Structure formats: C-alpha cells, structure tokens
Amino acid sequence: MSWLLLEKVPFVVLSVASAVITMKAQRAGGAVQTLAQYSPLLRFETAGIAYVRYLGKAFWPVNLVALYPHPTSLYPAWQVGAGLLILIVITAVVTVAVLRGVKLQVNSRCPSRRYLVFGWLWFLGALVPMLGLVQVGSQAMADRYAYIPFIGLFIMVTWLAADFARELHVPTAGLIALGVICLVVLGTLTYRQVGYWHDTQSFWERTIGLTKNNYVAHDSLGEYLLEEGGGNSEAEAAAHFRAALAIRPDDLPANLNLGAYEHGRGNLSAAVERYQVVALHAADLPLRAKAYGNLGSVYRQLGDLTAAKQCFEKSLELQPDHPLPMAFIGLGLVAQKSGDFAEAVRDYSRAMAIEPTDVGYLLVADALRQEGRLDEARGIEERVARLSPNLAAAQATARALNGK
C-alpha cells in the first residue's frame, strides 16, 4: 500500500506545479474573478449544482453549448437543496454497496465493488479545479472540462454492468445488443450536435438560444458578423453588442465594438462614452491600448488635438513592445495638423515599419512634400501607384484622414 501511494507522488507534484502556473497566467491575463463579482456562497452553490448538471450530461448529452454563463445572484433554495440531496444519496448508495460487498466477499458471495468508490471519488475530485471555487472566466461550467472526470463515472457504470451481467447470467448476445443500442443512441445525439456546430454563426446562435443572460455568446456572434461583413451584418452585430450590454453594462468587448460602430456612423459622443468605459476599466492591456487609440481618433475628429495626442501616447505607453500602428498614424496626423511635418514623417514611418499600407505611405509622402522633400515624396508615390491594389481608394482615405 505504501508503494502504491509513493508512486503517485511525482504526479501530484506535477499537478500542483501545473495548477500554480495556470493560476498565475490566468491572473496575469485578468481572467481570475474577484469575490466582489462572485461571492463565496454563490461559488459553492454553483459548484454543487454543476456536479449534478455534469452527471446529467454524462448519461444524456443533449443541449450542449459553448459556454454556460455564471449566474450573478444566488440560486433558488430548492435547486441547491435538490442538488445536494442527489449528491448525498449517490454517495450513500455507493458507500453502502461497497461496504455490503466487502462484507459478503468474505463468504465469496459477491464482488467487493470497490471500483464504485474509486470511480465516484475520481469524478468528485477531478472536477474540483473546474467548479469555479477559484473562478476563472465567466462560465459556470464547460463541457470540455468534463472529459477526465467522466472517466470515473464510466468506470463505475461499465464494471457494475459487467458484475450484474455475470450475476444474472446475461448472455453475450444480450450484452452486445445493449452496447449497439447505446452506440446508436449516442451516435444519433452526436450527429444532431454536430449539425448545430456546423458553422460559427449557428454555433453561437444555438448557445444564445439555450442559455440565459449569455453576454459572451452575444459578443462572440457580434464579432463574427463584423468579420464576415456584407448585407446588414454591422447592424445585426450592433444589436448583439447592445444585448450583451443590457445583460452586463460593464462588458468591455461589447463597449469597444459598439463604440466602433457608433464611430463609423459619425456618432462621436456615443463612441467616446463607449471607448472611455474600456480605457478606464480594462485590465487587458491590448484591449485598453486599442480603446485609447480609438479615443484619440475621435478626439482628433472633434478637433481636440491635445486630448487626441494624449490618448495616442497612452496607447503606445500601454504596449511599448507591441505598439499599435494606428497610434503612430494618429500622432502623425496630429503633428502634421500642428505644422510639425518632420515629426509627422517620423510617426508615419514608425507605423509603416510595423504594418506597411498604401494609405500609410501616401501619408508619409504628403508630409514629406509639405516638409519640402519633394523628390522623396514623389518616389514613394510612384511606388504606391505601382503596388497599391486600389490606388484611388487609398488616395481618398489619405485625403480624408488629413481633412482635405
């Protein structure tokens, strides 16, 4: 027995090390939620109910979705009580079955069925890191977390079925028929599920249809619609961002995306309001840097060059190793508007070193021309004319950015 315990020590050490590294990484990324967001009592209630929900999905896997949102208020007392009762009853049945088996095994009348305790404890223990007692992310539970814990349940069911079949003298043909029936049923359910996950849009629409207050799903579907473009997709995306904000007003991705939507339609005051929420509250530095960059663009359009410059500089300060090209472009536009053409050339050139674009090079050429470096400006314009896939559009965009 001592050797059986000792041989598992390296695995425990590796598991602890992995858990520590994971928690540090998630905390650094701002994914670990505070007690102010989800109270200890709510976390324990969610954990107890999640155990039962995972049990149900193990044996009847329907209505599976990408993310089950974490509730923000306590559950009804009856749900918590029912969940705890189910867990207590299963634990009691397993314990009685094993103790009875051990007692009868002395007389060789039946197997001990210790595998029931092993499987049940496997399921209960392996799920602990995924139950949200230390909450990472916004989900109450996630199907992908259940694969390893379910091994314990399948050990219980498989070995118990084998014992019963032996005791009841079930013929081999009967066991094969039962196995085939299980495979057909589960295969049919899988086929249906794959149909719902056929593409990104149906994937998130299914999630929204089967869950309540799922602002993450609204965000994800809205972002997909924006990427796809075409038709009325932008308006549809905005509707999903508004739905996300109706559920959670401080949802940062929805605020940023809805700000961009309003920005694109010239509703600058509404865009500023949305961008400021992200700029002031985002823990994720890339998200915050993008919000400041967008704010700078709005302030520049409003003619507040001082505020615009401060926002662009703040964006670059937040990500010195991965600066946003748009922030350098914004600083260049501010400098050019202020008459500092040399600084504008430097800022545009920094942007082009990160992400070369035909519009960016046209801005460089325009600043060079205003600085009096006509030959350099002409050379850049000639290269852009040869390489640009749509020169007329690039020229129009450059003129619009410079207010010409």
- Is residue 309 within 8 A of residue 297, CB to CB? The reply is no
DSSP class of 324: -
**Within a 10 A sphere around the Cβ of 251, how many other Cβ atoms?**
22
Q: What is the pLDDT of residue 38?
A: 63
Backbone angles phi, psi at 136, to 5 degrees: -115, 120
CA contacts within 13 A on the Cβ side of 111: 13
For residue 8, what pLDDT is reported? 64
Contact 347, 363 (CB under 8 A): no
The span from the CA of 314 to the CA of 278, in Å, is 13
Burial of 261 (0-12, 13-18, 19+ CB in 10 A): buried
In tens digits, the chain (404 residues) has pLDDT values of 566 677 767 766 766 666 566 556 545 544 444 444 567 788 888 888 889 999 999 988 888 888 888 777 788 889 889 999 999 999 998 888 877 765 555 445 556 688 898 899 999 988 887 776 555 556 678 888 888 999 999 999 999 888 888 888 888 888 889 889 999 999 999 898 888 888 899 999 999 999 988 999 999 999 999 988 777 889 999 999 999 999 999 899 999 999 999 999 999 999 999 999 999 999 889 999 999 999 999 999 999 999 999 999 999 999 999 999 999 999 999 999 999 999 999 999 999 999 999 999 999 999 999 999 999 999 999 999 999 999 999 999 999 988 76
pTM of the entire predicted model = 0.78
Query: pLDDT for 120-163, tens place per residue?
Result: 999 998 888 777 655 555 667 888 888 899 999 999 999 988 88
Asked if residue 388 lies in contact with residue 360, where contact means CB atoms within 8 angstroms, the answer is no
Residue with tokens 């929420």, as numbered in its chain:
277
Q: Where are the domains of the chain?
A: 34-196, 200-401
**What are 276's two structure tokens?**
């400021």
CATH number given to 200-401: 1.25.40.10
Task: Report how far apart the first and last C-alpha atoms of the chain are (Å, whole number).
Answer: 83
